[in-house]
């Protein structure tokens, strides 16, 4: 078989070429997937980053306006009492569809706050000093200082038990004014 040559079929890929392409795709995916997941978590955190300032601003506005009682007396400037958490649990990877009844409490009514869209976070307004413990408010009657409040949003964005916590607070500045503190975020589940 002299003169017999190996003919290569053109148009087909060798196994080595396919392995190299798969390796390159794997490397690109290994770099892109974590960045994409971080982007998704930050996008999900946007809900709380918008709602916490809404609740905070409503509490500041409530404090600055005189309110009369049913008998017509005007008490000193004050803040609403601690609200119940809505929802009562921290939503996991799923969302919670709030109802009108979730926001019926007097504190939520005083703050004129509701969320009509599905929520990934649990919200609570806490009155007094040191009421934020973990991600729950303690009963507002425990502390005498009623010139401090916190707005707390807690979410479990991936359903993995790692909580994202967003907090904004204001403290009494002596006299009839409150001093706003910066927005704080803890563990955006990164």
Q: What SS3 string covers the chain?
A: CCCCCCCCCCCCCCHHHHHHHHHHHHHHHHHHHHHHHHHHHHHHHHHHHHHHHHHHHHHHHHHHCCCCCCCCCCCCCCCCCCCCCECCCCCCCCCECCCHHHHCCHHHHHHCCCCCCCECEEEEEEECCCCEECCEECCCCCCCCCCEEEEEEEECCCCCCCCEEEEEEEEECCCCCEEECCCEEECCCC
* pLDDT band for position 7 (cuts 50, 70, 90): low
Q: Which of residues 24 and 3 earns the better pLDDT score?
A: 24
187 has pLDDT over 90 = no
In contact, 153 and 179? CB cutoff 8 Å: no
> For residue range 65-112, what is the model confidence (pLDDT) as tens digits?
877 777 878 777 788 888 899 998 888 878 899 899 999 999 999 999
The answer, as to whether pTM is greater than 0.85, is no
* pLDDT band for position 141 (cuts 50, 70, 90): very low
**What pLDDT is recorded for position 131?**
45
**What pLDDT is recorded for position 20?**
94
- Residue bearing tokens 């569809």: 97
How far is residue 183's CA from residue 31's CA, in Å, rounded to a whole number? Answer: 31
2 has pLDDT over 70 = no
> For residue range 11-63, what is the model confidence (pLDDT) as tens digits?
788 999 999 999 999 999 999 988 888 888 788 888 999 999 999 999 998 88
């Amino acid at each position: 078989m002299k003169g017999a040559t190996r003919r290569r079929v053109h148009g087909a890929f060798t196994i080595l070429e396919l392995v190299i392409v798969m390796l390159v795709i794997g490397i690109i995916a290994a770099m892109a997937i974590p960045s994409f997941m971080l982007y998704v978590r930050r996008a999900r955190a946007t809900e709380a980053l918008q709602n916490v300032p809404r609740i905070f601003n409503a509490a500041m506005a409530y404090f600055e306006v005189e309110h009369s009682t049913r008998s017509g007396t005007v008490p000193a400037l004050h803040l609403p009492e601690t609200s119940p958490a809505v929802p009562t649990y921290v939503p996991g990877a799923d969302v919670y569809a709030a109802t009108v009844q979730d926001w019926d409490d007097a504190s939520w009514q005083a703050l004129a706050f509701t969320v009509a869209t599905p929520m990934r976070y649990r919200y609570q307004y806490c009155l007094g000093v040191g009421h934020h413990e973990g991600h729950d408010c303690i009963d507002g009657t425990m502390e005498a200082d009623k010139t401090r409040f916190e707005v707390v949003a807690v979410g479990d964005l991936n359903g993995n038990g790692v909580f994202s916590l967003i907090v904004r607070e204001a403290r009494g500045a002596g006299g009839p004014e409150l001093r706003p503190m910066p927005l704080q975020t803890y563990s955006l589940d990164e």
